[in-house]
Amino acid sequence: MLGLNKTDSKFLLIVIALTMLTPFLMQPFAEGSGLAQFNGGYPDLMQKVAIFGIFAVGFNILFGLTGYLSFGHAAFLGIGSYSAVWMFKLLTMNVIPGILLAMVVSGLFALAIGYVSLRRSGIYFSILTLAFAQMCYKMAYSVLTPITNGETGLQLSLDDPRILDGAAQSGSLPVTNLFGLAMNSTYKLEALGRVFTFSVGYYFCAVIAIIAFYMAIRIFRSPFGMMLRAVKSNQNRMKFTGLDPKPYTLAAFVISGMYAGLAGGLLAAMDPLAGADRMLWTASGEVVIMTILGGAGTLMGPVLGAGVIKYLENIFSKINESVLHSWFHWLPDGIEEVVVWVFARFTGEGWHLTLGVTFMLVVTFLPGGLVEGLKRVSDRLKRGNKKRDKYDDPDPEHHPDPSKHVV
């Protein structure tokens, strides 16, 4: 199907089913029940999961395949957001041109930044991309204020030209739309004591995410993807076979930059404002964390990582002490205080702590991320606790260590 082999087609179909059914899947608990706060099925969060999934999948094309660890990818996210908002301001509120422009502009930036950064590898590459991203951030914050509106961030205003949309409706800002279908319109379905929200914005993001994911599968399975893996495993060998790693790596960098720009454009399409904070290096760190947590170099990993992190960010930060008390009220008083205190450190305001600790544990014990963890569990279930035969491992000489990074 669509040029994929059987397993990949199945995989893609499963992903499509999951994304289409997300409003149901993320709403497992009845309204008003004690667990209702774990419901993540509201449009804002679902859109974020889809968008950051795209971002992480793109980042994975660079890091997972070539092993070049970029610490500056958030710059492309920011650039994409700015371009999309400018498109909304100048041309039309339709999201398609905005997103296309976001991809083109961030692709151009990625070409320039990648051309310079890829002259070095390893830690130098990481620092160079970091420096470029910080540079973009500082410039967006200060010098380029006419374009980026500095600290306030770029917003729509009533007197924007919007050439295609004609005269502005009086009084209120127009909303982003897809050929007249407003992005923020939702349809609520009440069934089984639950409320399912279907939002146009989410489904738009989901379709784009599926297309992006499909592209990623094709890249992974293509000869080009093979070249990128060759860059990661051994550049010298690659050169000896007469292949220049540089153009391949640069192409991967530009593709992942365009993915990031697409994600930025979508963010702006969901909520038409763009601020410089999106380009901070901690935001770049976030996408690195997502990719690693899910499993770098795997197809499903980054999406999984983005989903888990965004879900935790939204759900964990809502759990406060009173909620915790209602959970643990059955414990004896003294113990309850202690338990609630401990949990309160990791929830609500302290969810970053959870993120940091989880991330450290994953990097230390599960270098392959959640995907590897799931695989180990399923292997364990299949094989039982049978002692592994030494011949189970492939010949290390002809299968280089898969976890080796270039960095």
Looking at the Cβ atoms of 86 and 359, the one nearer to another protein is 359
Smallest gap from Cβ 125 to another protein, in A, equals: 10
Question: Taking a C-beta distance cutoff of 8 angstroms, is the pair 77, 135 a contact?
Answer: no
CB 44 to another protein: min, Å: 24
What is the length of the chain?
Answer: 407
With respect to another protein, which residue has the nearer C-beta, 23 or 67?
Answer: 67
Contact 256, 248 (CB under 8 A): no
Give the HSE-up count for residue 220: Cα atoms under 13 Å, Cβ half-sphere.
21
- Smaller CB distance to another protein: residue 124 or 187? 124
Q: Which long-range contacts (CB under 8 A, 24 or more apart) does 280-283 make?
A: 280/74, 280/137, 281/71, 281/72, 281/74, 281/130, 281/133, 281/134, 281/137, 283/74, 283/77
Min separation Cβ 169 and another protein, Å: 37
Q: How far is the CB of 288 from another protein (least distance, A)?
A: 7
Name residues whose C-beta falls within 8 Å of residue 324's C-beta, 6 or more positions apart in sequence.
Answer: 339, 340, 343, 344, 347
CA 256 to chain CA centroid, Å, is 11
Where do we find the tokens 């092993």?
A: 67
Q: Smallest distance from the beta carbon of 312 to another protein, in angstroms?
A: 14
Q: Which two tokens stand for residue 379?
A: 């292997």
Indicate the residue among 118 and 299 with the shorter CB distance to another protein: 118
Site of tokens 């951030």: 137
| Nearer Cβ to another protein (91/131) | 131
List Cα–Cα distances, 289 to 93, 219, 299, 335, 378, in angstroms. Answer: 33, 22, 16, 34, 24
Residue 142 or 169 with smaller CB distance to another protein: 142
| Closer to another protein by Cβ: residue 157 or 364 | 364
Interface residues toward another protein, by CB under 8 A: 67, 69, 116, 119-124, 126-128, 130-132, 134-135, 138-139, 141-144, 281-282, 285, 288-289, 292, 345, 349-350, 352-353, 355-357, 359-360, 363-364, 367, 403-407
| Nearest approach, Cβ of residue 361 and another protein (Å) | 9
* DSSP code, position 28: -
When the beta carbons of 259 and 281 are compared against another protein, the nearer one is: 281
3 state DSSP class of 232:
helix
Q: How far is the CB of 127 from another protein (least distance, A)?
A: 5
What minimum distance in Å lies between the beta carbon of 233 and another protein?
13
Q: Which is nearer to another protein, 221 or 405 (CB)?
A: 405
Q: Which long-range contacts (CB under 8 A, 24 or more apart) does 241-246 make?
A: 246/118
CB of 120 to another protein, least distance (A): 6
Closest by Cα among 53, 49, 56, 48 to 73: 56
Nearer to another protein, 19 or 121 (CB): 121
Q: Which residues contact 322 (CB under 8 A, 6 or more apart)?
A: none
Report the sign of the C-alpha dihedral through residues 235, 238, 243, 249, in that order.
negative
CB 315 within 8 A of CB 44: no
Shortest distance, position 255 Cβ to another protein, whole Å: 20
- Give the E-state strand segments of 115-224 in sequence order: 154-155, 177-178, 181-182, 186-191, 194-199
